[in-house]
Structure formats: structure tokens, C-alpha cells
Structure 1
Amino acid sequence: MSHAPAPQPADPPSPLHVAIIMDGNGRWARSRGLPRTEGHRKGAEAVRASVTGAVRLGVSHLTLFGFSSENWRRPAEEISTLMGLLRFYLRRDLDELAREGVRLRVIGERSRFTPDILSLIETAERRTAANTRLDLTIALNYGGRAEIVRAARRLADRAVAGDLAPADLDESRFAEELYAPDLPDPDLLIRTSGEQRISNFLLWQIAYAELVFLDVAWPDFGEGHLSAALEEFRARDRRFGAVSV
């Protein structure tokens, strides 16, 4: 009598949503005797590698911290380079993103961006809105505290207008006022360059995220580093406040 093979344990699932704080461009450049702007150029290429790696490794949502609201304090030349890189990659990569099934969206306060950058962002979001292979979110001029205050202000306006009773406000209703309320909360937050802090990124959303800190500088980040972080994630026991059995 033949016997059916014993069922094999399924591989642990990849995290649905990975968020990355892309840190270390300046230090990468300084260690090589290069200007900081060269670190940003190299770091922009690492973004492409992370998107490709996320698709291949089964991640369905990827959020990258591209430019914080505090980054406007940097030297004017550096900001100009960063904005130029944003323009360049939005123009160059849009066709590829659309072809590969990547949806692109931007979160953050857009009022400080120039009209041409706003137009490029809106065009990219519109062209890729129906894509489902990877949901790629870029945080630009973004701050986690500012996002929470913005949500609170919008809810307060609704309460004053009589459209919302304070007693009806709960976590789910609050989350509806965040920049991208349809995004699932990140399962995994990665920060590169060895720093171990959150830096005002997705403060509401990462309440139960697993944190992985990597010593690699962002310009050197590749699919192998992403894969290693996913393996560490799979090895962790996520209990969400419950008791492990």
C-alpha cells in the first residue's frame, strides 16, 4: 500500500508590509571622501534595488522614508540635489513601475514642493493607481507627529461641525484620517546604517511592528540585506500582547 507523503510545514509568510528608514547616505559618502550629494545619488539607486527585491521576495507593501519634514534644515545645495533626484527618478522610472505592476503613492505634506514636482507625483500616482503587484509608498516632507496632529485636527473640525460625536471616536476612526488609511500597518520596520531610533516615522502605524536595525549604509543596501531582515522577522514570535503557547 502506498502512503501519501507527510505534509511539510509551510514556510513562514513574508511580512505583508515592510517600512524602511533609509539612513547613511552622508556617512557612506564621507567614508569615501565624496560629497554628501554623491551618497544621495547612490542611495537613490538602492531604492530601485529594494523595490525589485521586495517584488521577488513576496512583499506586497513597501514604504520608504525618503525626506522628513526636518530635512529642510539641511544645506540648500543638498536639498536642491535631493529635489533634482526626485524629479529625475519620477521621470525615468515611471514607465518601468507601471509596466512591473507597482503602485506608487506619496505621503506627507506636499505644500512645500514646487509645482513641477507636484505634477510629477500626481502623474505617477494616477498612472499606477490600478497596479497590484507591489504597493510602494514614499514618505516625503513627512513627520509622524505632524501626521497625528493633522488627523486630530480633521476629526476636531468634524466634531465642531456636528458630523462626529466624540464618543464615537476610536482607534479605527482615528486611523481613517491618516495619510494612507487603506495601507495595512507595517509588520517590519528596517533602519539602515546602525542607528537604533525611529526618527518620527510612522509613529501610529508601527505600534506592533518588528524592528530590525542593520549596520549597512543605505547606498550599499540590496536584496540580500532585505532577505536577511525578512528571515529575522520570520524567526520572531509575534504575540501582540497575548501569551505564547
Structure 2
Amino acid sequence: MKITFIGGGNMAGAILAGLARQGGHALQVVEPDAAKRDALARDHGVVPLQTPPAFAADEVVVLAVKPQQLKAVCEGIADRLNGALVLSIAAGVRVEALSRWLNGHTRIVRIMPNTPAMVGRGVAGVYAPQELAEADAEAAETVMRAVGEVVRLADETGIDDITAVSGSGPAYVFYFIEAMMAGAVKQGFDADTARALVLATFDGAVELARQSPLDVATLRQNVTSKGGTTERAIARFDAEGVKAAIVAGMDDCRARSIELGQLLSQD
């Protein structure tokens, strides 16, 4: 595929790196910052462009700018698309708004990636309207598989749902890691040892959950001996409402995603 990214920020750079490793693509990036353009060209072999070119119907255009910049970008490329497939990784902005800003262009797919894409371990939700050809949805999935796993979403509201889970999810994990590291330091470990212990614990627990035929609740129970040390910690978590707070926070995240989508999709 010939794929042009509009915007060369961190997420665009991560996906471009993955596509370069995947191979078989002609990659371009439109980025006004000369230093970013040069770095992407040097690191990933992409063709650097200062302004958007004219596209062809068999090309893919990835909108990888901040949501607040998206309207101006769309209006700037609307008359250059010539039927190209447009993928948007910008949070919030709905397909209807993108189509409106692109002068009625309807060949649009929305994607919600997450930051572990930067190390090739991302999860992306892909929403393709039903009227699009299956090949367009598959093209979007091919792009995102370059940096991790892909989940096809049946409805556009699924973008808000997956934002609350995997889109914002890395921050929840980092939050818990921060807390465990603080706890380890309180127990007397130095910061470097605390970090190593906690990250290794997360790595091991996730891999065990991945490989085990048991569900995660059973795995947790297997560590939680009656009257033991782990039971005491879990009892405190339950008393403090940790699990309920996480679920409620995810609900709040989804609600904010909906609010931002409505706000950002306005004229």
C-alpha cells in the first residue's frame, strides 16, 4: 500500500516504524517540523513532505494530528483526496464530522490506538461504517497490525467503549505500577530495585494470565491463602473500594470520550 501520514508525532512515528518493519509499503509523512520530517526519513525510510500532495483512489491517508487541528487539516486536503481511503487516529472526532470537513468524502475509518504501539504491543479498535467495502476495513487493520493487536468494532460508539479499556488503559496500569513502586520504597527498597521488582511482577503475572487455562479470578485466589499475607492486602483493597473505583473510573472515561466527541465534532 501507499500510505501517507498527515502529522509526524509520536503515534505516527510508532506506526510508521511498524509499517517499515512489516514491509511492502510506500510510506510518506506530511510534517511541517523539518527536524521531525528528517528524523522519520532517516529512521524509517519514509518520504518526507512539507505539504500534502494530491492522492489517488488506491492510496491510504492517515490523519495523525491533534483533534483540535483536524478540521483545518481536513479542509486543507479535501480537494486532494480523489477517493483515497482516510484513516483517522484522532480521538473524539466522529465520522460524520470528518466527512463534513472533507466535503462529503465517505471513505473513512476511525481508529483508537494506544501508546504501547510504540513498542509494537498496542491494541487498536477499528470502526469502519457498514457501507464501506470490506477491503477498506482490512486495509485499516493491516496498518494497525504493524504495531499490535486489532479489534473490529461494530458501531462507532465502540470507539468510546474501547477508549475506556485499552485506549486509556495503559495509564491505569502505570498508575498501579506507581502505587506499587511507592509501596516498595516504603518497605525499604531503593527506587531502582523497586522499579525492577514491580515491572518484573507485572510481566510475570500478565504472562501467567496469558498462558494459564484458569481465569484471572482463580489465579488471584490461588495466591490468596486463607488467613495469609495476600488475603490481608486484598481485604484492604476491597475495604478501600479499589475495584469499584477502577470500574467507576472507566465509566467516567467513556462518558468523557462521548463529551469530547460531541464537542470536537462541532463546526
Give the TM-score taking structure 1 as reference length: 0.30
Higher share of residues assigned helix: 2
| Bigger-Rg structure (1/2) | 2
Higher RCO (CA 8 Å, separation ≥ 6 residues): 1
